[in-house]
Amino acid sequence: MPDNIYLPELARITYIKEEVPGERAIKTFRVEPLNGDSFEHECGQCAMLSAFGRGEMMISIASSPLVKEYKQFSIMRVGRVSAAFHDLAVGDVVGIRGPYGNSFPVDDWRGRNLYFIGGGCGLAPIWPVITTAVAQRDNFKNITVFYGGRSPRDIMYKAELEKLRGVADVHLSVDKAEDGWDAYCGFVPANVMDKEPSSDNAIAITCGPPIMIKYVIQNLSQLGFADEQIYTTLENKMKCGLGKCGRCNVGKDYVCVKGPVYSWAELKNLPEEY
Protein backbone atom coordinates (compact mmCIF):
# COMPACT_ATOMS: atom_id res chain seq x y z
CA MET A 1 0.00 0.00 0.00
CA PRO A 2 1.27 3.50 -0.78
CA ASP A 3 1.73 6.01 2.08
CA ASN A 4 -1.22 8.01 0.85
CA ILE A 5 -4.00 5.58 0.08
CA TYR A 6 -6.10 8.23 -1.67
CA LEU A 7 -3.48 9.42 -4.13
CA PRO A 8 -3.96 7.75 -7.52
CA GLU A 9 -1.20 6.67 -9.86
CA LEU A 10 -1.29 8.16 -13.34
CA ALA A 11 -2.03 5.89 -16.28
CA ARG A 12 -2.35 6.47 -20.01
CA ILE A 13 -5.20 5.09 -22.06
CA THR A 14 -3.63 2.97 -24.78
CA TYR A 15 -6.71 1.32 -26.30
CA ILE A 16 -10.41 2.09 -26.53
CA LYS A 17 -13.01 -0.13 -28.13
CA GLU A 18 -16.72 0.49 -28.40
CA GLU A 19 -18.28 -2.82 -27.32
CA VAL A 20 -21.94 -1.79 -27.30
CA PRO A 21 -23.43 1.30 -28.95
CA GLY A 22 -26.41 3.38 -27.97
CA GLU A 23 -27.89 4.63 -24.73
CA ARG A 24 -26.32 1.90 -22.62
CA ALA A 25 -22.99 2.13 -24.42
CA ILE A 26 -20.11 0.02 -23.14
CA LYS A 27 -16.50 0.84 -23.99
CA THR A 28 -13.40 -1.14 -23.16
CA PHE A 29 -10.33 0.79 -22.03
CA ARG A 30 -6.78 -0.39 -21.52
CA VAL A 31 -4.52 1.73 -19.35
CA GLU A 32 -0.79 1.55 -18.77
CA PRO A 33 0.98 3.21 -15.86
CA LEU A 34 3.00 6.33 -16.70
CA ASN A 35 5.85 5.26 -14.44
CA GLY A 36 5.97 1.84 -16.11
CA ASP A 37 5.28 -0.01 -12.90
CA SER A 38 1.88 -0.51 -11.34
CA PHE A 39 0.21 -2.71 -8.76
CA GLU A 40 -0.51 -6.38 -9.41
CA HIS A 41 -4.03 -7.73 -9.00
CA GLU A 42 -5.92 -10.98 -8.66
CA CYS A 43 -9.02 -12.21 -10.51
CA GLY A 44 -12.10 -10.35 -9.30
CA GLN A 45 -10.39 -7.35 -7.73
CA CYS A 46 -11.37 -3.79 -8.53
CA ALA A 47 -9.64 -0.48 -9.05
CA MET A 48 -10.67 3.11 -8.47
CA LEU A 49 -10.43 5.11 -11.68
CA SER A 50 -10.18 8.90 -11.77
CA ALA A 51 -11.24 11.33 -14.43
CA PHE A 52 -9.78 14.47 -12.85
CA GLY A 53 -12.41 17.13 -12.41
CA ARG A 54 -15.22 14.56 -12.50
CA GLY A 55 -14.25 12.20 -9.72
CA GLU A 56 -13.63 8.53 -9.11
CA MET A 57 -15.49 5.29 -9.80
CA MET A 58 -14.89 1.70 -8.72
CA ILE A 59 -14.59 -0.69 -11.66
CA SER A 60 -13.74 -4.40 -11.87
CA ILE A 61 -10.41 -5.14 -13.48
CA ALA A 62 -11.40 -7.09 -16.58
CA SER A 63 -7.95 -8.28 -17.64
CA SER A 64 -6.24 -11.39 -16.34
CA PRO A 65 -3.52 -10.97 -13.69
CA LEU A 66 -1.34 -12.82 -16.20
CA VAL A 67 -1.44 -9.73 -18.42
CA LYS A 68 1.19 -7.41 -16.98
CA GLU A 69 1.49 -4.61 -19.54
CA TYR A 70 -1.98 -3.10 -19.17
CA LYS A 71 -5.17 -3.24 -17.12
CA GLN A 72 -8.49 -3.53 -18.89
CA PHE A 73 -11.84 -2.05 -17.86
CA SER A 74 -15.18 -2.32 -19.61
CA ILE A 75 -17.39 0.56 -18.59
CA MET A 76 -21.03 1.33 -19.26
CA ARG A 77 -21.87 5.01 -19.74
CA VAL A 78 -24.30 5.64 -16.87
CA GLY A 79 -23.01 8.28 -14.46
CA ARG A 80 -20.82 11.36 -14.22
CA VAL A 81 -17.43 9.66 -14.18
CA SER A 82 -18.28 6.86 -16.62
CA ALA A 83 -19.59 9.46 -19.08
CA ALA A 84 -16.33 11.39 -18.71
CA PHE A 85 -14.40 8.20 -19.52
CA HIS A 86 -16.50 7.62 -22.63
CA ASP A 87 -15.45 11.07 -23.85
CA LEU A 88 -11.71 10.33 -23.45
CA ALA A 89 -9.36 9.38 -26.27
CA VAL A 90 -6.33 7.13 -26.60
CA GLY A 91 -3.37 8.99 -25.10
CA ASP A 92 -5.38 10.71 -22.38
CA VAL A 93 -4.14 10.32 -18.83
CA VAL A 94 -6.36 9.14 -15.98
CA GLY A 95 -5.83 8.16 -12.35
CA ILE A 96 -5.91 4.65 -10.94
CA ARG A 97 -5.55 3.24 -7.43
CA GLY A 98 -5.99 -0.26 -6.09
CA PRO A 99 -6.31 -3.16 -6.17
CA TYR A 100 -9.31 -3.47 -3.88
CA GLY A 101 -11.23 -6.38 -2.46
CA ASN A 102 -10.81 -10.14 -2.37
CA SER A 103 -10.58 -12.44 -5.36
CA PHE A 104 -11.97 -15.61 -6.89
CA PRO A 105 -10.18 -18.64 -5.42
CA VAL A 106 -9.17 -19.83 -8.90
CA ASP A 107 -6.32 -22.03 -7.64
CA ASP A 108 -8.76 -24.00 -5.50
CA TRP A 109 -10.75 -24.89 -8.61
CA ARG A 110 -8.05 -26.96 -10.33
CA GLY A 111 -9.40 -30.15 -11.85
CA ARG A 112 -12.99 -28.95 -11.84
CA ASN A 113 -15.59 -28.06 -14.46
CA LEU A 114 -16.11 -24.31 -14.60
CA TYR A 115 -19.38 -22.66 -15.60
CA PHE A 116 -19.34 -18.91 -16.17
CA ILE A 117 -22.73 -17.22 -16.34
CA GLY A 118 -22.79 -13.55 -17.27
CA GLY A 119 -25.34 -10.97 -18.35
CA GLY A 120 -24.91 -7.50 -19.80
CA CYS A 121 -21.77 -5.76 -18.57
CA GLY A 122 -21.54 -8.48 -15.89
CA LEU A 123 -19.23 -10.35 -18.23
CA ALA A 124 -16.39 -7.92 -17.40
CA PRO A 125 -15.90 -8.82 -13.70
CA ILE A 126 -15.68 -12.56 -14.51
CA TRP A 127 -13.64 -12.08 -17.70
CA PRO A 128 -10.28 -12.19 -15.85
CA VAL A 129 -11.26 -15.59 -14.44
CA ILE A 130 -12.31 -16.86 -17.85
CA THR A 131 -9.12 -15.69 -19.55
CA THR A 132 -6.94 -16.95 -16.71
CA ALA A 133 -8.63 -20.37 -16.80
CA VAL A 134 -8.21 -20.54 -20.58
CA ALA A 135 -4.53 -19.54 -20.31
CA GLN A 136 -4.08 -22.38 -17.81
CA ARG A 137 -6.40 -24.70 -19.74
CA ASP A 138 -4.82 -27.95 -18.50
CA ASN A 139 -5.59 -27.06 -14.89
CA PHE A 140 -9.34 -27.34 -15.46
CA LYS A 141 -11.78 -29.80 -16.98
CA ASN A 142 -14.62 -28.40 -19.08
CA ILE A 143 -15.00 -24.64 -19.33
CA THR A 144 -18.45 -23.37 -20.27
CA VAL A 145 -19.51 -19.77 -20.76
CA PHE A 146 -23.14 -18.66 -20.73
CA TYR A 147 -23.56 -15.04 -21.69
CA GLY A 148 -26.52 -12.94 -22.72
CA GLY A 149 -27.50 -9.41 -23.60
CA ARG A 150 -30.78 -7.64 -24.26
CA SER A 151 -30.22 -7.75 -28.02
CA PRO A 152 -27.42 -8.84 -30.37
CA ARG A 153 -26.06 -5.27 -30.19
CA ASP A 154 -25.72 -5.59 -26.40
CA ILE A 155 -23.29 -8.52 -26.59
CA MET A 156 -19.85 -7.35 -25.47
CA TYR A 157 -16.49 -9.04 -26.17
CA LYS A 158 -18.02 -10.55 -29.37
CA ALA A 159 -14.72 -11.38 -31.07
CA GLU A 160 -13.15 -12.63 -27.84
CA LEU A 161 -16.13 -14.91 -27.18
CA GLU A 162 -15.86 -16.37 -30.70
CA LYS A 163 -12.16 -17.04 -30.06
CA LEU A 164 -13.06 -18.97 -26.91
CA ARG A 165 -14.93 -21.59 -28.94
CA GLY A 166 -12.67 -24.60 -29.28
CA VAL A 167 -11.26 -24.31 -25.77
CA ALA A 168 -14.60 -23.60 -24.10
CA ASP A 169 -18.29 -24.20 -24.74
CA VAL A 170 -19.94 -20.85 -25.40
CA HIS A 171 -23.71 -20.44 -25.11
CA LEU A 172 -24.88 -16.96 -26.05
CA SER A 173 -28.38 -15.61 -25.68
CA VAL A 174 -30.44 -12.49 -26.28
CA ASP A 175 -33.56 -11.57 -24.34
CA LYS A 176 -35.70 -11.05 -27.45
CA ALA A 177 -35.61 -12.87 -30.79
CA GLU A 178 -34.27 -10.87 -33.71
CA ASP A 179 -33.55 -11.62 -37.38
CA GLY A 180 -30.09 -13.03 -37.90
CA TRP A 181 -29.71 -14.35 -34.34
CA ASP A 182 -29.47 -18.12 -34.41
CA ALA A 183 -28.36 -18.80 -30.83
CA TYR A 184 -30.67 -19.00 -27.80
CA CYS A 185 -33.51 -16.49 -27.32
CA GLY A 186 -34.56 -15.84 -23.75
CA PHE A 187 -33.11 -14.76 -20.44
CA VAL A 188 -29.75 -16.04 -19.23
CA PRO A 189 -31.20 -18.15 -16.34
CA ALA A 190 -33.47 -19.90 -18.86
CA ASN A 191 -30.54 -20.60 -21.17
CA VAL A 192 -28.71 -22.21 -18.24
CA MET A 193 -31.76 -24.34 -17.44
CA ASP A 194 -32.04 -25.31 -21.12
CA LYS A 195 -28.46 -26.64 -21.24
CA GLU A 196 -28.74 -28.42 -17.85
CA PRO A 197 -25.13 -28.15 -16.63
CA SER A 198 -24.14 -30.94 -14.25
CA SER A 199 -23.17 -29.95 -10.74
CA ASP A 200 -20.74 -32.87 -10.64
CA ASN A 201 -17.25 -31.58 -9.72
CA ALA A 202 -18.35 -28.13 -10.87
CA ILE A 203 -18.04 -24.48 -9.89
CA ALA A 204 -20.44 -21.85 -11.22
CA ILE A 205 -19.42 -18.18 -11.36
CA THR A 206 -22.12 -15.64 -12.13
CA CYS A 207 -22.33 -11.89 -12.54
CA GLY A 208 -24.93 -9.63 -14.08
CA PRO A 209 -27.98 -7.59 -13.10
CA PRO A 210 -29.20 -8.46 -9.56
CA ILE A 211 -32.41 -10.00 -10.89
CA MET A 212 -30.46 -12.25 -13.27
CA ILE A 213 -28.11 -13.39 -10.49
CA LYS A 214 -31.10 -14.22 -8.30
CA TYR A 215 -32.69 -16.52 -10.89
CA VAL A 216 -29.37 -18.01 -12.01
CA ILE A 217 -28.71 -19.07 -8.41
CA GLN A 218 -32.24 -20.43 -8.05
CA ASN A 219 -31.84 -22.47 -11.21
CA LEU A 220 -28.37 -23.72 -10.28
CA SER A 221 -29.71 -24.86 -6.91
CA GLN A 222 -32.48 -26.68 -8.73
CA LEU A 223 -29.87 -28.37 -10.91
CA GLY A 224 -28.17 -29.67 -7.78
CA PHE A 225 -25.40 -27.11 -7.29
CA ALA A 226 -24.55 -26.74 -3.60
CA ASP A 227 -24.28 -23.22 -2.13
CA GLU A 228 -20.50 -23.66 -1.90
CA GLN A 229 -20.27 -24.37 -5.64
CA ILE A 230 -21.80 -21.02 -6.66
CA TYR A 231 -19.80 -17.79 -6.72
CA THR A 232 -20.83 -14.26 -7.52
CA THR A 233 -19.39 -10.79 -7.24
CA LEU A 234 -21.28 -7.90 -5.65
CA GLU A 235 -21.26 -4.27 -6.58
CA ASN A 236 -22.12 -1.32 -4.36
CA LYS A 237 -21.54 2.38 -4.39
CA MET A 238 -17.98 2.95 -3.14
CA LYS A 239 -15.81 5.97 -2.44
CA CYS A 240 -12.68 4.86 -0.57
CA GLY A 241 -12.13 1.18 -1.37
CA LEU A 242 -10.63 0.59 2.06
CA GLY A 243 -13.54 0.02 4.42
CA LYS A 244 -13.55 3.55 5.81
CA CYS A 245 -16.08 5.67 3.92
CA GLY A 246 -18.89 3.51 5.21
CA ARG A 247 -21.34 3.03 2.35
CA CYS A 248 -20.73 -0.32 0.66
CA ASN A 249 -21.37 -2.50 3.68
CA VAL A 250 -23.69 -5.47 3.65
CA GLY A 251 -24.08 -6.13 7.36
CA LYS A 252 -20.64 -6.16 8.95
CA ASP A 253 -18.80 -6.64 5.65
CA TYR A 254 -17.45 -3.75 3.61
CA VAL A 255 -17.79 -5.14 0.10
CA CYS A 256 -14.67 -3.22 -0.99
CA VAL A 257 -12.56 -5.18 1.53
CA LYS A 258 -14.32 -8.48 2.37
CA GLY A 259 -15.96 -8.74 -1.06
CA PRO A 260 -16.69 -8.31 -3.86
CA VAL A 261 -16.39 -12.08 -4.38
CA TYR A 262 -18.72 -14.29 -2.34
CA SER A 263 -19.83 -17.87 -2.54
CA TRP A 264 -23.58 -18.21 -2.26
CA ALA A 265 -22.95 -20.03 1.04
CA GLU A 266 -21.16 -16.93 2.39
CA LEU A 267 -23.62 -14.45 0.95
CA LYS A 268 -26.55 -16.25 2.55
CA ASN A 269 -25.06 -15.43 5.98
CA LEU A 270 -25.18 -11.69 5.33
CA PRO A 271 -28.34 -9.60 5.67
CA GLU A 272 -30.32 -9.30 2.43
CA GLU A 273 -29.36 -5.73 1.70
CA TYR A 274 -27.66 -5.56 -1.69
240 contacts another protein (rule: CB under 8 A):
yes
SS3 82: helix
Closer residue to another protein (CB): 82 or 206: 82
Question: What are 49's strand-pairing partners?
Answer: 57, 96
Task: For the segment 12-51, give every residue that binds another protein (CB under 8 A).
Answer: 12, 34, 50
Minimum gap (Å) between residue 53 Cβ and another protein: 5
274 contacts another protein (rule: CB under 8 A):
yes
Closer residue to another protein (CB): 24 or 112: 24
Q: How many residues does the chain have?
A: 274
Minimum gap (Å) between residue 165 Cβ and another protein: 31
Other beta carbons within 10 angstroms of residue 222's beta carbon come to 10
H/E stretch holding 1: none
257 contacts another protein (rule: CB under 8 A):
yes
Size of the site for another protein (CB under 8 A): 46
Tell me the C-alpha distance between 63 and 61, whole Å: 6
Going along the chain, which residue ranges are E strands?
9-20, 26-33, 46-51, 55-60, 71-76, 93-100, 113-119, 143-149, 169-174, 184-185, 202-207, 230-233, 249-250, 253-254, 261-263
Closer residue to another protein (CB): 110 or 244: 244
243 contacts another protein (rule: CB under 8 A):
yes
Closer residue to another protein (CB): 84 or 188: 84
23, 36, 37, 53: residue in contact with another protein (rule CB under 8 A): 53
31, 79, 193, 213: residue in contact with another protein (rule CB under 8 A): 79
Tell me the C-alpha distance between 75 and 85, whole Å: 8
* Through-space distance between the first and last CA atoms of the chain, rounded to whole angstroms: 28
Minimum gap (Å) between residue 215 Cβ and another protein: 16
235 contacts another protein (rule: CB under 8 A):
yes
Minimum gap (Å) between residue 66 Cβ and another protein: 27
10 contacts another protein (rule: CB under 8 A):
yes
Span of 6-14, 134-142, 175-183, 220-228 interacting with another protein by CB under 8 A: 6-14
Span of 147-155, 167-175, 196-204, 265-273 interacting with another protein by CB under 8 A: 265-273
23, 182, 196, 273: residue in contact with another protein (rule CB under 8 A): 273
Tell me the C-alpha distance between 41 and 96, whole Å: 13
Tell me the C-alpha distance between 176 and 230, whole Å: 27
Residue type, 158: K
H/E stretch holding 199: none
Using CA atoms, how far residue 252 sits from 100, 151, 257, in Å, is 17, 38, 11
Minimum gap (Å) between residue 4 Cβ and another protein: 5
Tell me the C-alpha distance between 154 and 177, whole Å: 13
Q: Which residues bind another protein (CB under 8 A)?
A: 1, 3-8, 10, 12, 34, 50, 52-56, 78-79, 82, 89, 91-93, 95, 210, 235-237, 239-240, 242-252, 257, 271-274
